[in-house]
A and B are shown apart, each in its own frame.
Chain A
């Protein structure tokens, strides 16, 4: 089944403890992206990747890192999480980054930073 898989689904951590949220897609998509969703603010893009080894900042990249060493995986790294990064995170992929193909989203990771 074609899908975008995020892990973990739920994560509670403490301020400053490095964490990684994994994202994997099995559709051979070139484009991958991370979003965060907060009440009243909609979905905001954190980082995106047009292809392997090609990443760029979205609208809210501060406090996050990403890497794209292989096509299927696009992990989101929080080197020193803070409470304002408590949010619902979504990974998404698309065949290309041209904007004419729909995005496929994962089921989300709910992160709480205390």
Chain B
């Protein structure tokens, strides 16, 4: 699976949009981009995923560049409860993709009042 690069940490003001970048320059055509977050030591929580089109759900938006070498997770109105570690992962899809997801260091997002 393609490796990802994320900033170690970021700050965001409460109520503002949080834009979390991820670089995945070696991504292959059949690899999806996934975002998860982990609040303190709770289980990781799925946020959103996409292949090549931009995606939006009730939690966030995912913008994937045309060449698919990078993406940005957008939390439109960050709240204090969005303080967490955010993981960007790329994962190949297939009939036997059993070894699913390798989580790297992620970005520690701190939302400040």
Is B49 a contact of A99 with CB atoms below 8 Å? no
Contacts of B36 in A (CB 8 A): 103
* A-B residue pair count with CB separations less than 8 angstroms: 70
Is B41 a contact of A58 with CB atoms below 8 Å? no
B94 proximal to A (CB < 8 A): yes
Q: How many residues of B contact A (CB 8 A)?
A: 26
Q: Provide the bound-state CA to CA distance between A35 and B42, in Å.
A: 13
Contacts of A45 in B (CB 8 A): 99-102
| Interface size range of chain A in the complex | 20 to 34
Query: Which partner residue on chain B sits nearest A33 by CB separation?
Result: B100
A63 proximal to B (CB < 8 A): no
Is A43 a contact of B103 with CB atoms below 8 Å? yes
- Minimum CB–CB distance from B87 to chain A (whole Å) comes to 8
Is B100 a contact of A97 with CB atoms below 8 Å? yes
Query: Which partner residue on chain A sits nearest B30 by CB separation?
Result: A99
Best-surrounded residue of A33, A59, A98, A102 (most CB of chain B within 10 A): A102
Binds B, one of A64-72, A77-85, A105-113: A105-113
Contacts of B94 in A (CB 8 A): 98-99
Q: Interface residues, chain B, CB within 8 Å of chain A?
A: 32, 34, 36, 41-46, 49, 91-106
17 pairs, A vs B, C-beta closer than 8 Å: A42-B102, A42-B103, A42-B105, A42-B106, A43-B44, A44-B102, A58-B99, A59-B99, A94-B100, A103-B36, A104-B46, A105-B43, A105-B44, A106-B43, A107-B42, A107-B43, A110-B41
